Amino acid sequence: MKKVFIVILIIVNLISCFSLFNRPNNSVVEPLEEPKITIASPADDSIPEWRIGYRIYWHYENLQIPKHYWKSIIEELQLFADDVYVFSGNGLRVSIDVFDMDVRDFPGEVPSDDLFEIEFPKDTTTFQRLGKYNSVFFSFPWLGPIYQGVAHPLSDYSAVTFPMGLRYKGEWVIPWELLFLHEFLHLVVDHYSEIEWPEDDVHGAEVNGYVSDYPMVDPDYFSDMMQGKVIVGRKKTGILSEQYGDYGLPFENQY
């Protein structure tokens, strides 16, 4: 019996060792591909940096956007990055790693009439975690009824989609400076939820007394929101420049 017990013990130990050597190493992940370019606000190590990973897909199903729009998108992103720094009173900066997805199709699912129901690519969580991004942006061709950006601040990703819509004479409408800022501010308002924001927050220019031909992208209103200068009644609302560093950034504790 003693010999049998010893033999069994040896077999068990061998099986255990084999299992250890063949166990999948969940800590090993594929490295993040390199961004084609990084766009950033003016350098300032004394303030928080909101890091964004932005994937631009030129193909989706039977739609294809010409690559010559790349230059214009990059120019608009730089204006957006500069706006964040200036409008926040030098209280917040952004950096955007921009990924050219080239010939790859957008791997998510995009309903034809409701961007709020978008199904993000399956690797979005991994993409955000590997890049240590506070938010992720996506662009892709889309033929929906209204061109727009859609923020998803309550999702697992702190994400924004910027569909590029086909318009007149084969021209595509790309995201632009103040549209980037509008949707980004939805993420800001959601994250800094303890701040007293003006009525209707990002959409509140008109209701808070700002006169503009384009109230949804009023730069004066956005600037006042981002520096705590929107007057409601007898008090100022919005976030003060020095408050950006008080609450951390989205997903910061996970990195």
In tens, the pLDDT along 144-154 reads 766 678 888 76
Say whether pLDDT at 35 is over 80: yes
In a domain, 109, yes or no: yes
**Residue 47 pLDDT grade (very low, low, confident, very high; cuts 50, 70, 90):** very high
In a domain, 45, yes or no: yes
Say whether pLDDT at 99 is over 60: yes
| Domain interval for residue 42 | 37-193
pLDDT at 119: 85
In a domain, 119, yes or no: yes
In a domain, 17, yes or no: no
Number of domains in the chain: 1
In a domain, 233, yes or no: no
Distances (CA, A) of 187 to 21, 234, 240: 44, 27, 16
In a domain, 228, yes or no: no
In a domain, 43, yes or no: yes
Q: Any idea which of 76-80, 166-170, 224-228, 232-236 has the lowest mean pLDDT?
A: 166-170
**Helix crossing, 70-87 with 177-191: angle to 10°?**
50
Q: Any idea which of 23-27, 82-86, 134-138, 140-144 has the lowest mean pLDDT?
A: 23-27
**Residue 165 pLDDT grade (very low, low, confident, very high; cuts 50, 70, 90):** confident
In a domain, 202, yes or no: no
pLDDT at 156: 72
Alpha helices in the chain (DSSP H): 2-22, 70-87, 124-131, 177-191, 219-225
pLDDT at 5: 41
**Residue 31 pLDDT grade (very low, low, confident, very high; cuts 50, 70, 90):** low
Residue type, 18: F
Provide mean pLDDT across the span 42-69.
Answer: 94
pLDDT at 70: 96
Q: 108: which 2 tokens?
A: 């998510």
